[in-house]
Structure 1
Amino acid sequence: MFTAWRKSRARKPLALLLAVSGVLAGACGTAGGGSGASDRGSERLRAFVSIPPQRYFVERVGGEHVNTSVLLPPAASPALYEPKPSELRSLSGTDVYFAVDVPFERSVADRIRSAGGDDMRWVRTWQDVDRGHLEGGKPDPHIWLSPRRVKTQAETIAAALSRIDPEHERDYRENLRRFEERVDALDADITSELEPVAGKTFMSFHPAWHYFADDYDLKMLPIESGGKEPGAARLREIIERAENRDIRAVFVQPRFSDDDARTIAEQVGATVEPLDPLARDWEKNMRHVATELADSLRSGF
């Protein structure tokens, strides 16, 4: 009996240990939640985007649960950039890539997907967005410059994050709601600022602002056409059209030569002003663009 009692006493701590271990394992399983993104616990999702404005959107929707990086280097052009092998290697271990269909993505999409690996989700943020076409027939990718189209992008981002990380779906949906409220307020402010100049024409070197112009009843006269700088005949035509519309400013952007813009500006007595479609702080930049255009068009025809 003494022997039996000792065995019984020996079993109780072991049984208790196993029971406690089972509870802890169950708790850990609940926190992780099975497989895929649910196994992360408190680890943040790794997201990549092509350009800085896309990062702004993902950060606003993803909040504290997502760590977002930009593939395009600061001084590079989305039209000319080709990722280096070292830059592509940084995609390893990425959970999701939010594409927007800029030119370099079209040309190296397979390499980006391969670098991200089989587990990286590829999300087309332009799906469900009403897109137009550039001269030459290619889709116009500049949807991030239209606040109204950005709301559709943000909904796609929130849906993708919720599928990948369902544990935080409520947070993503709440972040989306707050972001859409800010976009609506921004849209209303820009509408109010540009309403007095509705119907007027502005000139831009790169045809990035078609959607913005469409949203706010403006007309854009681009210098570049089909991804090419204008020849002599096209340049003369643009100068004549600019003179007829009393263009007071020619808008250029970083990463592109402004030689032709300066030639046109000198001919028509306009100034050359910068507008950056890739600015990191998207909302601040949209307000800046609206103010610059309003000031230019109020003083023009």
Structure 2
Amino acid sequence: MRKKIITAVLFTISIILAGCHSGSNESQNKSEDQENKLNIVTTFYPMYEFTKEIVGDKTNISMLIPTTVEPHDFEPTAKDLANIQQADGLVYNNENMETWIDEVQQAVNTEELELINASEGIELLPFLTEGHSHEEGHSHEEEQSHGEGRSHEFDPHLWLSPKMAMLEVENISKKIIRIDPANRKTYEQNTKHYLEKLKKLDEQYESVLKSVKNKEIITQHAAFGYLADSYGLKQIPIAGLSPDNEPGAKQLKELKEFAKKHNIKTIFFEENASSKVAETLANELQAKTAVLSTLEGLSDEEIQNGKTYISIMEKNLQVLEKALK
């Protein structure tokens, strides 16, 4: 009887050990699978989603800028630079958004890292602040500068126009394929599928904004230039590139006069910025305020709840349609 018990115990232990060994092998295989994939770092949310839609599960992909940080204010740390150096590619929007990209090029070995400029070859709009007055020594050049002598010569907000987003996706896809030709077919199929979705979004914007009565939009900062340019609107920003810039009394007066002249009843602001300035102007005009998302950062909760570039851009379109009709 005792022999039977010992045999049973040994048999049970052998099963447990075999299971542990199997689990260890599975874990090792998963680890090796992860190591064999490309590692792609993306800067902020739109670049992350565009790249994720292209690569699917074929690469390890991460986002450099935390969703709690305004991308215009971000500066990479030494740890960030180390993570970038370990990657196979860095996807960024353009040097007018990621003004620190030159520092990255100088700090890391670019022979082992593909720098993927999503806006490469796309004609950028000059950074202008129509109707934006400057007083008390506050010059246009000062407003354009960001950080130690860095300037925003061109508008970086391409992704806020579906037309421009499609061009950025095509650029990213070509570069990903170049560094990982073995998965070319998958990347091409994924890109085609995502571009079809973006094309449908573009057609929705074309259809809706073509029929709206008013074409002028007053926005908290100059983020919607490409959207306006693509779909026949005119953007009048309260502030410049940064949503935190506050206008002077003279500029508020000019904006108030402009809004009255063009019968503007809605002032747009962004979800991640203070609405104080927009509300001040709206109160003076007896107008409403509404949120237009810049998609510069989605929270983990929003992502988990299924929010995407396309769903939020559809929401933006609904907001525009309601305000402009």
TM-score under structure 2 length normalisation: 0.73
Residues 138, 87 of structure 1: alpha-carbon distance in 2 compared, 3 angstrom cutoff: same
2:63 matched to 1:70? Answer: yes
Residues 113, 65 of structure 1: alpha-carbon distance in 2 compared, 3 angstrom cutoff: farther
Q: Would you say the 8 A contact 1:88–1:112 is kept in 2?
A: no
1:52-74 deviations in Å (ceiling 9; x for gaps): 01111101111121222111111
Q: Specify the alignment match of 2:199 in structure 1.
A: 184
Deviation at 1:234, TM superposition (A): 1.1
In the alignment, the residues of structure 2 paired with residue 198 and residue 78 of structure 1 have an alpha-carbon distance, to the nearest angstrom, of: 34
Q: Which of 39, 56, 68 is 1:46 aligned to?
A: 39
Q: Would you say the 8 A contact 1:198–1:217 is kept in 2?
A: no
Please list, as runs of the form range in 1=range in 2, the aligned pairs for 1:121-160 lying within 5 A after superposition: 121-135=114-128, 138-160=153-175
In the alignment, the residues of structure 1 paired with residue 233 and residue 191 of structure 2 have an alpha-carbon distance, to the nearest angstrom, of: 29
Whose Rg is larger? Answer: 1
Deviation at 1:151, TM superposition (A): 1.6
Deviation at 1:209, TM superposition (A): 0.7
Q: Specify the alignment match of 1:287 in structure 2.
A: 314
Query: 3-state DSSP class of the match of 1:202?
Result: strand
Counterpart amino acid of 1:287? Answer: E
Please list, as runs of the form range in 1=range in 2, the aligned pairs for 1:90-239 lying within 5 A after superposition: 90-101=83-94, 103=96, 105-111=98-104, 114=107, 118-135=111-128, 138-197=153-212, 200-225=215-240, 227=242, 228-239=245-256
Q: Would you say the 8 A contact 1:198–1:216 is kept in 2?
A: no
Q: CA RMSD in A?
A: 2.4
1:156-207 deviations in Å (ceiling 9; x for gaps): 1111111111101111111111111111111112222222216511111111
Q: Specify the alignment match of 1:89 in structure 2.
A: 82
Unaligned runs of 5+ in 2: 1-31, 129-139, 141-151, 299-307
1:209-256 deviations in Å (ceiling 9; x for gaps): 111111111111110136443111111111111122222221111343
In the alignment, the residues of structure 1 paired with residue 324 and residue 45 of structure 2 have an alpha-carbon distance, to the nearest angstrom, of: 28
Q: Which of 293, 296, 303 is 1:276 aligned to?
A: 293
Query: 3-state DSSP class of the match of 1:90?
Result: helix
Residues 212, 226 of structure 1: alpha-carbon distance in 2 compared, 3 angstrom cutoff: closer
Residues 192, 82 of structure 1: alpha-carbon distance in 2 compared, 3 angstrom cutoff: same
1:62-96 deviations in Å (ceiling 9; x for gaps): 11212221111112112222233334433341110
Residues 40, 92 of structure 1: alpha-carbon distance in 2 compared, 3 angstrom cutoff: farther
Query: 3-state DSSP class of the match of 1:186?
Result: helix
Deviation at 1:121, TM superposition (A): 1.0
In the alignment, the residues of structure 2 paired with residue 104 and residue 283 of structure 1 have an alpha-carbon distance, to the nearest angstrom, of: 21
**Number of aligned positions between the proteins:** 260
Deviation at 1:115, TM superposition (A): 5.1
Query: 3-state DSSP class of the match of 2:57?
Result: helix
Return the structure number with greater relative CO, CA threshold 8 A, min gap 6: 2
Counterpart amino acid of 1:274? Answer: V
TM-score under structure 1 length normalisation: 0.79
1:21-72 deviations in Å (ceiling 9; x for gaps): xxxxxxxxxxxxxxxxxx9898221111211011111011111212221111
Q: Which moved more, 1:147-156 or 1:287-296?
A: 147-156
In the alignment, the residues of structure 2 paired with residue 169 and residue 286 of structure 1 have an alpha-carbon distance, to the nearest angstrom, of: 29
In the alignment, the residues of structure 1 paired with residue 223 and residue 170 of structure 2 have an alpha-carbon distance, to the nearest angstrom, of: 23
After TM superposition, which residue ranges in structure 1, 4 or more long, deviate above 6 angstroms? 39-42
Q: Would you say the 8 A contact 1:76–1:255 is kept in 2?
A: no
Unaligned runs of 5+ in 1: 1-38
Residues 128, 112 of structure 1: alpha-carbon distance in 2 compared, 3 angstrom cutoff: closer
